[in-house]
Amino acid sequence: MKTTKHPHTNRGAVILSLLFVLLFFIFIARFFVIESSQTVKGEEGKPVDLKNLAEEKWTRNRTIEADRGSIVDRTGKKVLAEDIPAYTVIAILDKKYPDHVKDVAKTAQKLAPILDMSETDLKRILSSEGRFQVEFGNVGRNLSLSEKEKIEELDLPGINFIESKKRYYPNGLFASHIIGFTNEDKETGKQKGVMGLEKDLNKYLTEQNGTVTYQGDRRGFELPDPDKVIDPPKKGYDVQLTIDQNIQLYLEQAMSEANKKYSPERMIGIVADPKTGRILAMSNRPSFDPNKRNVENFTNYAISSSYEPGSTMKIFTLAAAIEEGVYNGNEKYQSGTYKYQDGVRPIKDHNGGAGWGKITFDEGVQKSSNVAFSILAKEKLGFDRFKQYLHKFGLDEKTGIDLPGEANSRIRFQWESEKITTAFGQGTAITPIQQIQAATAIANGGKMMRPYVVEKIVNPNSKKIEQNHEPKQAGTPISKETAAHTLDILETVVTEGTGTPYQIPGYDIAGKTGTAQISDSGGYMSGWGKNIFSFLGFAPKDNPKLIVYVAVDRPNVEFPEAGSAPVSQVFKSVMKNSLQYLNIEPQEEKTPENKEKKEVGVELKDFTGEDSKQAEKTLKDKGFEVVVLGNGSTVKGQAPYAGSSVLSGERIVLKTDGEAKMPDLTSWSLADVLKVVDVMDLKPNVMGEGFVTKQGIDPGATVKEEDYLVVQLNPPNNSESEQGGGQDEENEESGSEGADDEITVTD
């Protein structure tokens, strides 16, 4: 049967075909227009650049985190504060995700001891409904690498980690009030200093994060792209302090021992280099571990607290009288009481006004006679000249030390009684750091040096030194001859006077004891030990390398133990260990046979780069005990350092380029232990005093740089205690040196 087409069918097909062809050519034309112009019309008819739109769609930016600047000790090698990796543990609960927590009870049981968290609390968190993942609060954050590895060893499904950074203080309780600590800034996510140098130098220490810009797919995975743009991160500036890690360690150790034994209200310790003003160590009690933020006391008493110094002030009154030519040490005066004005109570010597009869002024210094210094201030110097010397010694203004929060003194100089009592350290309040600065003039030939703790600030990216602090003279209050004369007299205070508990065999110590009264309800505290006891000492006397100041506030001592006992314990430990660390060897005992004989050391040569076996033989042939760390053939380091003065029989530590084994440290002194610490760049943790009885790294174990070395020290069984004793100005029943009408302590 023949089919007939509708007459319009072919015409419709032709029209439809032409329409499709037209649309095709319009599409092609539009394509070429877009291709050539790279733009289209967007919302509100505005042109949109397609190339830019594509880049925005596929371009990814990732932050590259930078490290906050490090804080190091004066060697530039010992890190005191740094950024280290930290980890937050998370648990994935979503069962749709392949790696999720499958056994809640088992996971809680395994994690509990590591996170120090109860299984019950962990189960509750791990059983949370509708959560993709959970965290475990503060206990699960800022985990160390070792803690992370312990958890990973458990091989628990669904347990993962987020990597971050945390501020870490390797030495824990160590110069804490100087260094301070940081907290996370909620706005920037960076660490921000909130105390100490971390806060004061925050603008230098703060890092600058970098970025990497790349092309990525829909899931964010990076695509191969040679045009990837990287803006590198910039670490914050590194800060090098004047603090010596070893000397600071001696101070921290000694203060912790005394603090444990005597439980005082507070303690202050400062060690300074009198030739430069560099602060080598500074500490307070109470203190804190900046890793734990367990801060009981935010005040750096060494610079931020002024109080009556007591008889350490007599050092500067004595020096002023010598400088003015009005001091005659052989001249005699009547000790006991001094009536300086009619109608007022007289000044009394600290033994209740009994005195010691008619004695010389030199004896008055040795016995710390308040009457002697009252006469010097009023009759010999005169108050106007005396006040001039308060200014010359910088005792009436801040030192300008580069630490936040320095306080000023409070000089009480209106009434005659105040002028007199200031001469022997009562009434007027002075900061410890002001005393240190003034003392540098005594120890440095009359040149007074400004104290400082920041050696330099370095840009680690360019290695450029942004700040370089040099020693700065703060004045010349006395002559070289006066300084030497003052030290000679202060030495007799230690050998014959109130300072005998501070003697150190083999070393000539010069110094002055001090006792300050403490105000209480308009009067003064009374009772045994209710004072601030202190000592300001110099060694070696003929050319002081160190000034050490120690103050202890209200130690828990029972009669007849002297309040000076904890002070002498700290001072002697710190001074002796520090002198030995600086290779200032003790002299032989001065007896009639060898009174002037001194044991002289030899200068240690530099063995770096030499054959280790030949270096060992050379040293042994000269009578030294040699310890070689490593099985390499070349010496890479040594302790003591080249140029040090060493004595026959001293232990020398050589480091080679091979694998090092830990020696048996049993019976080693702390000074020798620190030689190993220095050459291996270890992180020491020292407990106790005396000689090594236990060590954290077993003898023969492989030791690497920056390992932690814990050592326990104990005194030898047959040794007598070196703790100070005897009767001095500090252990009088009244606990006071001053006049009855003295001004109260300020703090």
Q: What is the 3-state secondary structure (H, E, C) of 338-356?
A: ECCCCCCCCEECCCCCCCC
d(CA 253, CA 340): 46
Cβ atoms of 348 and 336 within 8 Å: the answer is yes
Give the active site residues: 311
DSSP state of 500: G
- The letter for the amino acid at 117 is M
End-to-end CA distance of the chain: 124
Q: Which candidate, 344, 339, 533, 514, places its Cα nearest to that of 424? A: 514
3-state DSSP call for residue 425? coil
- Report the DSSP beta bridge partners of residue 337: 348
Q: Which candidate, 425, 427, 426, 431, places its Cα nearest to that of 400? A: 431
d(CA 318, CA 324): 10
Q: Which candidate, 154, 144, 153, places its Cα nearest to that of 88? A: 144
d(CA 431, CA 442): 18
Question: b/e per residue, 117-153, with b = 16+ CB within 10 A?
Answer: beeeebeebbeeeeeebbebeebbebbeeebbeebee
d(CA 428, CA 420): 10
d(CA 126, CA 20): 62
Residue written as tokens 């070393």?
A: 507
DSSP state of 605: P
Residues 6+ apart with CB under 8 A from 701: 661, 662
Angle, CA 125 vertex, CA 121 and CA 130 arms, to 5°:
160
- The letter for the amino acid at 739 is A
Q: Is 212 exposed, middle or buried (0-12, 13-18, 19+ CB in 10 A)?
A: middle
Q: Which candidate, 73, 484, 361, 359, places its Cα nearest to that of 241? A: 73
d(CA 673, CA 679): 10
Cα torsion through 650, 653, 654, 659, rounded to 10: 150
Cβ atoms of 370 and 380 within 8 Å: the answer is no
Cβ atoms of 464 and 474 within 8 Å: the answer is no
- Report the DSSP beta bridge partners of residue 635: 656
DSSP state of 477: -
